Amino acid sequence: MWTETDNSLHRSFRFADFKTAFAFLTDVAAEAERLDHHPWFSNEYNVVEFRLRTHDAGNAVTRRDHRLAAAIDAVAARHGAE
Ligand SMILES: C[C@H](O)[C@H](O)[C@H]1CNC2=NC(N)=NC(=O)C2=N1
């Protein structure tokens, strides 16, 4: 699940391999564009880490972050996140 610390929502996902993680990130990019809300993320091999906050709200967590988090969860499930 997502945790809220330091004014951000945080979550990491692990996938079968790098290619799957990268395909996941490609689909996350489409969701970020659809929602006009973009994550900070980091990827190393099959692990992707997210931090979500709203820059337009002074880097606070808003409902836009929660909406993007839910969209990311749905994409992660489609890509078989462990
Ligand atoms: C102009 C554009 O709508 C804004 O810059 C959007 C783009 N994506 C964004 N992403 C995030 N994380 N926070 C924002 O405030 C934000 N604002």
**pLDDT of 17-74, one tens digit each?**
999 999 999 999 999 999 999 999 999 999 999 999 999 999 999 999 999 999 999 9
**CB-based contacts of 19, cutoff 8 Å, min separation 6:** none
23 alpha carbon – ligand 1 mean position (Å): 23
Q: Is 44 in the pocket of ligand 1 (CB under 6 A)?
A: no
pTM for this model (two decimals): 0.97
DSSP class of 46:
T
Structure-block tokens of residue 56: 């337009």
Q: What pLDDT is stored for residue 52 in this prediction?
A: 98
β-bridge partners, 5:
8
Q: Give the per-residue pLDDT at 36.
A: 98
C-beta of residue 28 within 8 angstroms of C-beta of residue 13: no
Per DSSP, the three-state class of 52 is strand
End-to-end CA distance of the chain, in Å?
12
Ligand 1 midpoint to CA 34 (Å): 12
